[in-house]
Structure 1
Amino acid sequence: MKKQHFLFPVVASLFLFACTLDSERPTDVKYISNTDPSWQQHLSQLKKIHAYTNQGQLGYISQQERFSTRFAWQYHNPTHYRLTLSSTLSRTSLSIEVRNNIMQLSDDKGPLRSAQEAKRLLREIVGMDLPLDQLALWLKGQPDENNAYQVGENHLLAHFSYPVNNSLWTADYLSYHPYPLPLPKDILLKTAGQTLKIRIDNWTY
């Protein structure tokens, strides 16, 4: 099964999905202490969100290719979640569901195949090393407190670095939705040779 069946190439002028997310990390961000009371209160509220859904747009850039796709994320618990990618130019879709650490892939025509090595299968089919195990926290703007992270002047997560399978990922939180509980809107994820631009349009939790 060739991954090109599930990628949705677009021309460069459309790639940034009508927003101005820069592929370079911001350099003018000012940080505050991780012990800031407002941040600690926000972090406590994030930890109470155990299940949630969101939808938005995802842009991927590597030296070999680039594509843009709509996404829908449904998170129930660490062993049960679902990511659906859908073309912005056609009705093509790819759903990646994990239950009990077993991944099942399906498209708009039905099931494809499953495997226990979820990360390897995702890389083979979709063509990118998306760290699904960490995505649930990253989308919420909740850092791993055992790794380095930085809080911005808005008292929200601004940046972190996180090692995944011998690769270092960085995340920059560029903007937040002003919900009663602020949640990420624009996120820039980078690792060696790969950039993911995530825009979250809405949240349910």
Structure 2
Amino acid sequence: MRILLICLGLLLVSGCAYRAEEAPAGSWQAQKQQLAGLQNWQLAARLGIITPEERGSLSLFWRQDSGDYRLNLTNVVGKRVFDLSRRSGRIELIDSEGRRHTAANAQALVYELTGWNLPVEQLADWIKGLPGDADTVSFDADGRPARVQSHGWQLSYLGYTQIDGLWLPSRLELSHDTTNLKLAVNRWELNP
């Protein structure tokens, strides 16, 4: 009985972690329209940022609601690094001191305040595994995006997981000039 309980416990724990999984060949092409139509989602992830000036590991929470979003970054002790949001086209960033900043461009605002080059607007699609029409894409053996080149950014999709019937990225790396980002998704939630 004890061995059965231990095995059951191990199965439950292993089922909680996302890992790269096999997908049927061509599945991404079949789900591309579903991904494009997916407008309401949220995720929790670990984000590694490496620039010439610094390197760090952050917790990321992203909630997308159609064209609006909220992107929250906290450090390892849970202190807010910044909270970035777009509501009705208005972009606002609340910094670690609680000061509010607004701008017309989220990427420029983040860069101005942190020195980090984060492709915020494109990331909303890239994070779902949905490259843009003008992006250069190579696919893995299962027909899913493996590498993407766009606007000077290089993306590598290193793992996928199936959530509610959709294959979504679980790990990706992005690089642009001297900025390297590593994203490991802990939890996806669709239509929250």
* TM-score bin, normalised by smaller chain: 0.7 to 0.9
SS of match in other structure, 2:134: coil
The aligned amino acid for 1:200 is: V
SS of match in other structure, 1:63: coil
Structure-2 separation of matches of 1:146 and 1:115: 26
After superposition, the Cα gap between the structure-2 partners of 1:72 and 1:115, relative to the gap in structure 1 and judged at 3 Å, is same
Which of the numbers 50, 56, 59 marks the counterpart of 1:61?
A: 50
Contact 2:93/2:102, CA 8 A, preserved across alignment: yes
Structure-2 separation of matches of 1:90 and 1:44: 36
Structure richer in helix, relative to its length: 2
Segments of structure 1 that go 5 or more residues without pairing to the other structure are: 1-35
Deviation sequence 1:47-83 (CA, Å, 0-9, x none): 22112111111001111211110000011123x1110
Question: Is 1:140 equivalent to 2:128 in the alignment?
Answer: yes
Match of 2:60 in 1: 71
Question: Size of the alignment, in residue pairs?
Answer: 165
Amino-acid identity (%):
28
**Normalised by the size of structure 1, how large is the TM-score?**
0.74
Structure-2 separation of matches of 1:138 and 1:55: 15
Question: Is 1:190 equivalent to 2:175 in the alignment?
Answer: yes
Deviation of 1:90 after TM superposition, in Å, equals 4.2
Deviation of 1:101 after TM superposition, in Å, equals 3.4
Question: Is 1:176 equivalent to 2:165 in the alignment?
Answer: no
Moved more, 66-75 or 174-183: 174-183
SS of match in other structure, 2:53: coil
Q: CA RMSD in A?
A: 1.9
SS of match in other structure, 2:33: helix
Looking at CA atoms only, which structure, 1 or 2, has the larger radius of gyration?
Answer: 2
Segments of structure 2 that go 5 or more residues without pairing to the other structure are: 1-24
After superposition, the Cα gap between the structure-2 partners of 1:117 and 1:145, relative to the gap in structure 1 and judged at 3 Å, is closer
Match of 2:187 in 1: 202
